[in-house]
Structure formats: structure tokens, C-alpha cells
Structure 1
Amino acid sequence: MARNNRSRKREAEYEPLDVERLTTGWRRTEVRSGRQWTVQPISALNATKTYTCPGCSGEIAPGVSHLVAWRNDGILGDQADLEARRHWHEACWKVS
């Protein structure tokens, strides 16, 4: 009988590529001025609308990668925080 030289361990560690996660970015939590913010990168492929950046009041055109940020420690609850989310240029968010 022929011997199989393939490592079974390598096969068990394989995880299929999560395309949705790659295209939506990596959601993270940041603390700024004592407040917690959820920050979600938006890829150029998923940027389909025009937004106004609160950092510079400039336009974020469709097809431009950017960030969406919202507080996650507001007193009005999670739904109100999510509805108050804003789209930022990446550079504007870094200096805010």
C-alpha cells in the first residue's frame, strides 16, 4: 500500500478565505478623549455614496476608501450611537 506523505495537521489548520471580512475591513474600538469609538474602515469598492467629512468639511466621493466612526458608550444607547455615525477621511480621523 502506498504511503501518504501529506501532513494531516496542515489540512486541519486551513480556514477558507472570508471575502466579506476582507472587503469590509477590520472593525476596531478606539478611545479618544475618554470616550469609546467604534471605527470601521470602508474599502473603495464598498464606498458607493458621497459623504461630508466632519473633520475637514470636505467631500468623500464614491470610490474613495474612508472610515466610519461612532461612539459606543453614549447615554442614549447603542441604536442612537449607531444612527449618529459619521464618515471620515482616514487622515482627518487620525488628527481629530
Structure 2
Amino acid sequence: MPSRRPSRRRPRDGSHPPLDLDRALGQMRAESGPDGEWSVRTVRGSEKQYLCPGCNQQIPAGTGHVVVWRNDSWFSDEHALGERRHWHSGCWRARGRRR
């Protein structure tokens, strides 16, 4: 009987790698600011172009950026998610310093 190749998924000792919570949650995090509570999700890029509300410049297709929506919307969660915006990562970070 031929010998089986060891699995490359897990080390031989059976230990699991530490959980990367950002990766497991799709790089989503909550942020607080003077303008409210926000959900911020990092994306690696998409097939579409978006207009960044921070600088009014295009985010080219395939470019990593953040998608942002309010956590404290007066309307429904569906409404808040429908109002999400795509920002350059640097523009989103800089917006807190401009206020």
C-alpha cells in the first residue's frame, strides 16, 4: 500500500494557527467619531469604479479601499447599508483630522 502524503493544512502536531479575527470578519470593524458610529469594511478591490466622497476622485477598479456605513442611523439597518459609501483608505483616515 503506498504511503500517503502528509496534509499541508495543519502542522503535524495538530495545533491550529491563531485566529485572524479581521480576516474572519471580512476585515470589518466599528469606528466612533464626532460624526457618529460607523461600520468600516476593508476590501481588496472590485470590478467597479467608485467616487470617493472624501476627495471626489475615482477609486479605480481593482484598487483596495474601505466601504463605510452608519451604525447609528435613524432609519433601518437596510437603509443605512443602502447608504454605504466607498472611500480611499487614506481619505477615510484623514477625514477625522479635518473635522
TM-score tier by shorter-chain length is: 0.7 to 0.9
Which consecutive residues of structure 1, in runs of 5 or more, have no partner in the other structure? 1-9
Q: Kindly indicate whether the alpha-carbon contact (under 8 Å) linking 2:27 and 2:43 is maintained by their aligned counterparts in 1.
A: no
Q: How many residue pairs align between the two structures? A: 81
Which consecutive residues of structure 2, in runs of 5 or more, have no partner in the other structure? 1-12
Distance apart, 1:34 and its partner CA:
5.0
Q: What is the match of residue 90 of structure 2?
A: 91
Q: Kindly indicate whether the alpha-carbon contact (under 8 Å) linking 1:25 and 1:43 is maintained by their aligned counterparts in 2.
A: no
Coordinate RMSD, CA, aligned = 2.4
Distance apart, 1:25 and its partner CA:
4.0
Question: Percent identity at matched positions?
Answer: 39
Stretches of 4+ aligned residues off by more than 4 angstroms: none
- Normalising by the residue count of structure 1, what TM-score does the alignment of the two structures yield? 0.74
Q: What is the match of residue 51 of structure 2?
A: 52
Q: What is the match of residue 29 of structure 1?
A: 30
- Normalising by the residue count of structure 2, what TM-score does the alignment of the two structures yield? 0.72
Q: Kindly indicate whether the alpha-carbon contact (under 8 Å) linking 1:36 and 1:72 is maintained by their aligned counterparts in 2.
A: yes
- The structure with more helix, counted as a fraction of residues: 1
